[in-house]
Structure 1
Amino acid sequence: MNEADALDIVQYAIWTVLTASGPAVAAAMLVGVGIALVQALTQIQEITLTFVPKIVAIMLVVALTGPFMGAQISSFANVIFERIEHGF
C-alpha cells in the first residue's frame, strides 16, 4: 500500500462520515436555530428547552434515513474489504 492508496481510503472514509451523519446534523442545526429564534422572540432563556426538541428531531431523522446511512457505511466497508482481498 502506497501513499496514494492511503489518501484515497482516508478521503473515502471522511466522505462516508460526512454523508452518513449529514442528515442528523442538519436536523439538529435546523431545530437549534428554530428554538434559538423562539427563545430570542419570547425572552425565555431556559437552557434545557433546546435538548428535547433536538433529541426528538434527531431520532426521527435517524429512523427515516437509517437505511441510507447503513448503505453508505456498507458501501465503504465493501470497498475496504475488496481492497484487502486484492492486496491493495
Structure 2
Amino acid sequence: MKVPAVDYSAVFQALPGAVALVTPQLIYADANAEFLRIRGLAREQVVGRFVPEDHPEKDPAEPLLLRVLASLRQAAGTGERSIVALQRYDRE
C-alpha cells in the first residue's frame, strides 16, 4: 500500500489559531490565514519582514516584545521550543 503524500502547506494553513513561521534570523517565512486575518495584512506584507520591525508604532523596549524576541532567539539558538506565557496585547 502506498502512503499518501502530505501537503504540509495545506496543513500549516489549516492550523487552528494564528501561526507564523519565523526563520532563525527572525524573518517571517510564512503566516497562516488566521494570523493574516487578525493582523489585517496580506501575506506579501508579512513574508520577508524582520519580526522586530513588525510593530513600528510600538516602543521597541516594550516588555512583551522583548520577551517574545528572547523566546524566538532562544529557540533559534538551541533548536528547542521556547514557550512564552499567554500575554494580553491590546490593539489600538
Verify same fold: TM over 0.5. Answer: no
Greater Rg by CA: 1
Using CA pairs below 8 Å that are at least 6 residues apart, which structure has the higher relative contact order?
Answer: 1
Q: Which has the higher helix share?
A: 1
Structure with higher strand content: 2
